């Protein structure tokens, strides 16, 4: 069999299919629905309204600082009570368009925003040596009601872009908990305490690995800390955290 022309033919078929899709369903901004060149991205106006999370920020929890104090790269909360994860990064602050994209994905099922979100998340941890991408899991009950895990969608897209291994099975949420929304800082940590664990027979997938947890938004770090504790108990070498958005003001309580 002659394989010489298979690749060009395959590329031509793919190009034709994409062109047909764009003709039938024109690409639109994942945020405002303005027509754009390719599916899964934002228009220039919405890109410009995002607030990238730039230094200075806390190394451990990515809380943005108003200015560089020169006294170190940790916030007061992390100095007093360090999170269980080793470092954190976020692409944007949880304001305006950033908040809107998170809410559209989580509660409206607008999965078209995932490529744009992952594109912005990918460069935030380019300096880290990572073995495995693990999304923050949902409890089975929540998964059945929502029908998808937004963190898993983001993690899968990130792993694909960065050519990393992804593990959607080892870390599990063992018990259902109430929504973290509306809870103070202390209550959030209590709410998710010991609620995550490692699936039976999957510890070897965790032991000795540098892991990055993926979630949509970082608020207090309570959920990520609970996940990191379970992963480290199973022998993870290190656990980092990458989210699309970071709430820029500490939550009291």
Phi, psi of 78 (to 5 degrees): -75, -30
pLDDT band at 189 (very low <50, low <70, confident <90, very high): confident
Flag whether pLDDT at 173 surpasses 50.
Answer: yes
pLDDT band at 182 (very low <50, low <70, confident <90, very high): confident
Report pLDDT digits (tens) over 41-82: 788 898 888 989 988 899 999 998 877 755 568 888 899 999
Peptide bond into 56 cis (omega under 30): yes
3-class secondary structure for the chain?
CCCCCHHHHHHHHHHHHHHHHHHHCCCECCCCCCECCCCCCCCHHHHHHCCECCCCECCCCCCECCCCCCCCCCCHHHHHCCCCCCEEEEEEECCHHHHHHHHHHHHHCCHHHHHHHHHHHHHHHCCCCCCEEEECCCCHHHHHHHCCCHHHHHHHHHHHHHCCEECCCCEEECCCCCCCCCCCHHHHHHHHCCCEEECCCCHHHCCCCEEEEEEEEECCCHHHHHHHHHHHHCCCCEEEEEEEEECCCCCCC
Report CA torsion sign: 109, 112, 117, 119. Answer: positive
How many Å apart are CA 57 and CA 105, to the nearest integer? 26
Flag whether pLDDT at 2 surpasses 60.
Answer: no
Flag whether pLDDT at 169 surpasses 50.
Answer: yes
pLDDT mean across residues, the chain: 86
Report pLDDT digits (tens) over 195-207: 899 999 999 999 9
- pLDDT score recorded for residue 65: 87
How many Å apart are CA 18 and CA 11, to the nearest integer? 11
Helix axes 114-121, 96-108, angle to 10 degrees: 130
- Which domains are assigned to the chain? 1-49 (no CATH), 52-246 (3.40.50.2020)
Report pLDDT digits (tens) over 16-46: 554 554 555 778 887 788 888 777 778 889 8
Report pLDDT digits (tens) over 93-150: 998 889 999 998 988 888 888 999 999 999 999 999 999 999 999 998 888 888 899 9
């Amino acid at each position: 069999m002659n394989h010489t022309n298979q690749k060009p033919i395959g590329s031509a078929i793919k190009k034709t299919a994409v062109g047909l899709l764009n003709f039938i369903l024109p690409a639109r901004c994942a945020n405002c629905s303005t027509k754009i060149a390719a599916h899964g991205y934002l228009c220039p106006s919405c890109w410009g309204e995002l607030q990238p999370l730039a230094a200075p920020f806390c190394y451990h929890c990515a809380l943005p600082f108003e200015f560089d104090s020169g006294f170190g790269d940790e916030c007061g909360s992390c100095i007093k009570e360090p999170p269980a994860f080793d470092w954190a990064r976020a692409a944007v602050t949880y304001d305006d368009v950033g908040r809107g994209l998170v809410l559209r994905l989580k509660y409206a099922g607008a999965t078209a925003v995932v490529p744009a979100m992952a594109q912005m998340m990918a460069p935030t941890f380019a300096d880290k040596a990572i073995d495995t991408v693990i999304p923050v899991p949902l409890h089975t009950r929540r998964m059945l009601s929502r029908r998808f895990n937004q963190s898993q969608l983001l993690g899968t897209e990130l792993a694909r872009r960065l050519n990393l291994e992804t593990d959607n099975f080892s870390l599990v949420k063992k018990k259902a908990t109430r929504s973290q929304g509306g809870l103070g800082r202390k209550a959030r940590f209590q709410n998710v305490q010991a609620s995550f664990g490692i699936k039976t027979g999957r510890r070897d997938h965790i032991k000795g690995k540098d892991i990055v947890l993926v979630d949509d938004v970082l608020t207090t770090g309570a959920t990520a800390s609970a996940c990191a504790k379970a992963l480290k108990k199973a022998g993870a070498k290190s656990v980092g955290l990458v989210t699309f958005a970071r709430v820029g003001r500490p939550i009291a309580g």
